[in-house]
Amino acid sequence: MAARVLTVQAIERLKPDAARRLEIPDATLPGLYFIIQPSGAKSWAVRYRHDGRTRKLTLGAYPALDLAKARTEGRAALQSVSLGQDPVAERKVAAPLPTRDLIGSVIDSFIERHVKPRNRPRTAEETIRILRTKVLPVWDGRKIQDIGRRDVIGLLDGIVDAGTPVAANRTLAALSKLFNWAADRGVIDANPCVRIKAPAVETSRDRVLSDDELRLLGRACASIGWPFGPFVQILLLTAQRRDEVAKMRRVELREGGALWTVPSQRAKNDKAHDVPLSAAVQAILGSMPRVAGQAGYLISTTGKTGISGFGKAKSRVDATMLALARADAETDGSDADTVQIEPWRFHDLRRTAATGMARLGIEPHVVEAVLNHRNGTISGVAAVYNRHSYGPEKRAALEAWAAYVASLSGERRP
């Protein structure tokens, strides 16, 4: 990338490239680079040659290390190079910081002592992912005691600028837990996240697919085929969560395949959940290929794990639905180029199923039992004393919903 005279305003305007790491050379101080990671993390580095080899010295993260300080430190490093010294080698032999105070060590201890033992596996996995991909690359090598409110805000701003504001909210939540834990253990005096507001405003979704969209979805699933076609169909017909369906295992099926028990370790509310499988779902499961493997996953391409790659799969579903809708428009003599599909997510299928069952006259407490919701129409004292599992009622509800979805596969509406 061509060198440019970096200014504070120019740096603030620079945006990350999701596909690659950017290195912008500073024309004012040749050898100084401003680096932007695809994640939005920003830092400074100096490149130079020593003993015929190209070397890179990382100076620090931005904005903790601002433009003026970066030039000062970069100039000092390059001056030492001109005297025949190697700043990278000198840094390696410098007295190391106490490792227990480094952010990486604190994060590792937090994960082992708090995150893993006190969270459900899926929650722990997400917290670990955030800390290791959003936080550690920016603050690695720094003492946790040196990280302040401005550093936190700078980190969050970088994530927002990368186009993922909701991820910034999740990162703030994970950081707040980390710093609270560190404060409770006397590692730091106070949590720098206190009074920092969530960067993004989140609103609850109310997207429900229409009957025409469900008809298109069914045709798209048939067109896409294994493994994501059946996967999406099962999501819709069972009204269960994405990861619960993706990691279904043969040992979780009972009553000859008519009942699926989601174990408490995989259920969002830590409560084992019986899901009666309609005849339609049983037929889908029976038609799927069995992949050799010891783990027994029902929807798997390897036999060792459940399916993944949901983003690409969703893009295929969207593209197929759109192509089918435009083909229908051409058949009807309409302008196919104007046809669009309103954006939706896999989780919206769960809401669609719940709404559909309600439209069919299913009682709200039965729908909530299908969804494995604890705090619905039956809560408080009633929830304590009402221990009925609603197994027969759930089966009737899911059979009725499956029959309704099947009825949509007929002729398109004029």
Model confidence over 133-161: pLDDT tens digits?
999 999 988 999 999 999 999 999 999 98
Band of pLDDT at residue 98, cut at 50, 70 and 90: low
Query: Are both 84 and 36 inside the same structural domain?
Result: yes
**40 Ramachandran zone, left/alpha/beta (phi>0; psi -120 to 50):** left
Model confidence over 358-408: pLDDT tens digits?
999 999 999 999 999 865 554 443 444 444 678 999 999 999 999 999 999
Band of pLDDT at residue 217, cut at 50, 70 and 90: very high
Model confidence over 45-77: pLDDT tens digits?
999 999 888 999 988 888 888 999 999 999 999
Q: How far apart are CA 36 and CA 22, in angstroms?
A: 5
Query: 413 lies in a domain?
Result: no
Model confidence over 314-329: pLDDT tens digits?
999 999 999 999 999 9
Query: Are both 250 and 369 inside the same structural domain?
Result: yes
**224 Ramachandran zone, left/alpha/beta (phi>0; psi -120 to 50):** alpha
Query: 271 lies in a domain?
Result: yes
**Distant-in-sequence, close-in-space partners of 397: CB < 8 Å, separation ≥ 6:** 357, 360, 362, 366, 367, 370
> Domain span at residue 48?
8-94
Query: 190 lies in a domain?
Result: no
CATH assignment at residue 120: 1.10.150.130
Query: Are both 304 and 243 inside the same structural domain?
Result: yes
**Which of 32, 62, 94 is at the close of a domain?**
94
**Which of 63, 94, 125 is at the close of a domain?**
94
Contact 6, 26 (CB under 8 A): yes
Query: Are both 157 and 246 inside the same structural domain?
Result: no
pLDDT at residue 375, rounded to an integer: 56
Query: Are both 178 and 322 inside the same structural domain?
Result: no
Percentage of the chain beyond pLDDT 90 is: 62
pLDDT at residue 374, rounded to an integer: 65
List the single range of 38-42, 44-48, 256-260 with lowest mean pLDDT.
38-42
**Distant-in-sequence, close-in-space partners of 272: CB < 8 Å, separation ≥ 6:** 261, 262, 263, 264
Query: 157 lies in a domain?
Result: yes
**Which of 71, 94, 117 is at the close of a domain?**
94
- What is the domain count for the chain? 3
Query: Are both 263 and 381 inside the same structural domain?
Result: yes
CATH assignment at residue 63: 3.30.160.390
pLDDT at residue 106, rounded to an integer: 95
